[in-house]
Amino acid sequence: MFPYSEASWDVVDGAMFIGWGTALPGITTLLAIIVCIAVLVIGQRSETAKAKQYDK
């Protein structure tokens, strides 16, 4: 079996993040920030449009 001969987690002694030391953590953090901001903006527009119906 890949990567070890046993199907057990006993041989894993540390974190196995293949993106460490590259731009991957920064890129994924930036994408998460962009998605969060987009959700907040879209939600605010939706709630403002719904509230305008009752402000007349």
**pTM (global) more than 0.95:** no
Exposure string (b/e) for 15-27, b if CB count within 10 Å is 16 or more? Answer: eeeeeeeeeeeee
- Contact assessment for residue 25 and residue 19, using Cβ atoms and an 8 Å cutoff: yes
pLDDT value of position 56: 64
- Tell me the residue length of the chain: 56
Task: Measure the N-to-C terminal CA separation of the chain; round to a whole number of Å.
Answer: 68
pLDDT tens digits, the chain, 56 residues: what are they? 456 666 676 766 776 677 778 898 899 999 999 999 999 999 999 999 999 988 76
The whole-angstrom separation of Cα 42 and Cα 47 is: 9
pLDDT value of position 42: 97
- Contact assessment for residue 1 and residue 7, using Cβ atoms and an 8 Å cutoff: yes
pLDDT value of position 55: 75
